[in-house]
Amino acid sequence: MKKHRTLTLLLPLAIISCAAPAVYNSANGQVEVRQASPALVQQGNQAFAQYKAQHRVSQNHAARARVYRVATKLRPVVNLPGANWEFEVFDDASANAFALPGGKVGINTGLLNIAKTDGQLAAALAHEMAHVTSNHAQSRIQTNQAIQLGGAVLGALIGGENPQTATQYATGAANLVFGRSFSRSQELQADQIGTVFMARAGYDPAEAVRLWQNMAARGGAGVPEFLSTHPISSTRIKALQDFLPQARAQRR
Catalytic positions are 128
- Determine the residue type at 156: A
Q: What is the dihedral of CA 121, 105, 1, 183, to 10 degrees?
A: -140
Cα-Cα-Cα-Cα dihedral sign, residues 102, 42, 147, 172: positive
Q: Are 183 and 229 within 8 A, CB to CB?
A: yes
Report H helices in 99-222: 109-114, 118-133, 136-158, 163-174, 180-200, 206-217
- CA Rg value for the chain: 18
Ranges assigned E (strand) in 35-85: none
Enumerate helices (H) and strands (E) in the chain, giving the number of each: 9, 5
What distance in Å separates the CA atoms of residue 183 and residue 138, rounded to the nearest whole number? Answer: 12
User: What is the number of alpha carbons within 13 Å of residue 158 lying toward its C-beta?
Assistant: 12
The DSSP bridge pattern shows strands 30-31 and 104-108 to be: unpaired
CA distance 55 to 47: 12
**Rounded Cα–Cα distance for residues 183 and 49 (Å):** 25
The β-bridge partners of 90 are: 57, 108
